């Protein structure tokens, strides 16, 4: 008896397993459909059993091979339907469905022992070949789609990583900004507190400068007022003696009328001198009161010649009140006819007092250095130049270095030793002249030789 193996299973089985292997790798079934992947991994078993059956029972049945392939494509079709949301699977689904339909028709014809008529058999064979080619083409297309999807997925992952990195960097930047903002806020608070402390200190120093100027002015006034008071006291004592002598003469039996007339003339002259010096003391007191009175900021017509002369003597006697050994030559060159200027006299008086005080301080320092033949001299002159009135204060003292001249009007800058100056006198003077009176205040100096301050004020004619 002739025995024939079921060769259809020998061919179709490996072909089906190869197709399944391709599909498992193409669609990543172990990750996407683990259960279906396990079923597909066992599709070779039915083919092996059918082949064993044909060997054991010596029966050849081609329907087994056809039915096996129908079973394989049924499982593949079900797998693709489960993956229909995946674009490459949708692409291959149509082709597999056509192949599955081909095997359904073929198995149905075998089971019913039917044959297609020649024209339809030719169409069927041609359709089978086309579907096979279609499946191959769709496999290539699905593979290309998978690569595209993987590329897009990788790009999305990279973009997601980039966004995550940007988000992390933004979060880090926000943290750093928050820390920096907190640090800046703290620094701002510290600076605000330092500014408040500085303003408080500045107010105290300004007050100290005012008190120092007032002390110098007071000393000058005290020294200046001492002269008329001495005259008043001396003439009062002499007048008392004359009155006693007159009274004694009048008690005599034969008074000397000529002597009495002479005594009365002396008394009258003394009373006139007492009145003169008393008025002089009163005028000094009035000037002191005007200087100490709070400035209203109202401008009045001011005689700069008189103002310079008054404050020059007050500054000089103020220094002599501190140092009795100090003497200086005062030179004045006032313009004979100097127009009145519109100014706040109290404020300009403070400026002049500060300039004179600094000048006397400079010549005193040079005098104390023991330079042979040195004669302290302070010179004040006034003049008119165009539409301006000019006041020059020059001394032959220690002078100011060129580097220091650039900072001489800065607040809190002083060339005096600690404890002898606040560094606000010239700064306040500069503000009064420049900001308060629309003028200018300049300095020219040669170290070890002289210093000259030039104040210019605009002139207003009426």
Q: What is the CATH number of the domain that holds 348?
A: 3.30.565.10
Expressed as residue numbers, the domain containing 448 is: 298-462
Q: Which one of 146, 166, 186 terminates a domain?
A: 166
In a domain, 404, yes or no: yes
In a domain, 212, yes or no: no
In a domain, 304, yes or no: yes
In a domain, 174, yes or no: no
Q: Which one of 142, 166, 190 terminates a domain?
A: 166
pLDDT at 384: 92
In a domain, 374, yes or no: yes
pLDDT at 290: 52
Q: Which one of 131, 166, 201 terminates a domain?
A: 166
pLDDT at 47: 66
pLDDT at 10: 55
The tally of domains found in the chain comes to 2
Helices 118-250 & 87-111, crossing angle to 10 degrees? 160
Spans of the chain, pLDDT less than 70: 1-13, 44, 47-65, 202, 205-224, 280, 283-297, 411-424, 460-462
In a domain, 188, yes or no: no
In a domain, 292, yes or no: no
In a domain, 23, yes or no: yes
């Amino acid at each position: 008896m002739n025995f024939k193996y079921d060769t259809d299973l020998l061919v179709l089985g490996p072909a089906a397993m190869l197709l399944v292997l391709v599909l498992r790798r193409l669609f990543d079934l172990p990750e996407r459909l683990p259960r279906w992947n396990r079923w597909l991994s066992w599709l070779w078993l039915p083919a092996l059993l059918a082949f064993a059956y044909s060997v054991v029972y010596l029966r050849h049945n081609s329907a087994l091979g056809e039915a096996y392939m129908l079973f394989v494509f049924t499982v593949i079709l079900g797998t693709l339907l489960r993956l229909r949301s995946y674009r490459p699977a949708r692409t291959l689904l149509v082709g597999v469905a056509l192949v599955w339909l081909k095997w359904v028709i073929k198995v149905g014809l075998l089971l019913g022992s039917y044959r297609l008529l020649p024209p339809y058999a030719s169409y069927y064979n041609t359709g089978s070949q086309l579907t096979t080619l279609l499946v191959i083409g769709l496999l290539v297309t699905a593979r290309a789609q998978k690569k595209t999807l993987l590329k897009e997925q990788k790009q999305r992952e990279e973009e997601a990583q980039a966004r995550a990195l940007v988000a992390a960097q933004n979060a880090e930047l926000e943290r750093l900004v928050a820390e920096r903002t907190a640090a800046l806020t703290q620094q701002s608070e510290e600076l605000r507190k330092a500014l408040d402390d500085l303003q408080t200190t500045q107010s105290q120093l300004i007050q100290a400068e005012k008190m120092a100027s007032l002390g110098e002015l007071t000393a000058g006034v005290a020294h200046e007022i001492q002269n008329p008071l001495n005259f008043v006291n001396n003439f009062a004592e002499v007048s008392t003696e004359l009155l006693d002598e007159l009274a004694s003469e009048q008690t005599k039996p034969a008074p000397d009328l000529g002597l009495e007339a002479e005594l009365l003339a002396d008394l009258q002259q003394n009373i006139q001198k007492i009145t003169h010096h008393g008025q002089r003391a009163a005028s000094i007191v009035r000037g002191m009161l005007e200087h100490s009175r709070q400035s209203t900021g109202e401008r009045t017509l001011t005689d700069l010649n008189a103002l310079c002369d008054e404050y020059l003597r007050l500054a000089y006697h103020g220094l002599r009140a501190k140092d009795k050994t100090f003497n200086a030559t005062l030179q004045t060159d006032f313009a004979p006819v100097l127009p009145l200027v519109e100014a706040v006299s109290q404020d300009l008086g403070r400026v002049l007092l500060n300039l004179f005080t600094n000048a006397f301080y400079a010549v005193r320092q040079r005098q104390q250095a023991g330079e042979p033949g040195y004669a302290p001299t302070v010179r004040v002159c006034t003049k008119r130049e165009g539409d301006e009135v000019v006041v020059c204060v020059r001394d032959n003292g220690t002078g100011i270095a060129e580097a220091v001249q650039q900072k001489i009007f800065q607040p809190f800058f002083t060339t005096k030793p600690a404890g002898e100056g606040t560094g606000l006198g010239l700064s306040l003077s500069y503000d009064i002249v420049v900001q308060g009176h629309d003028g200018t205040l300049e300095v020219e100096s040669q170290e070890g030789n002289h210093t000259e301050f030039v104040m210019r004020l605009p002139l207003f004619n009426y």
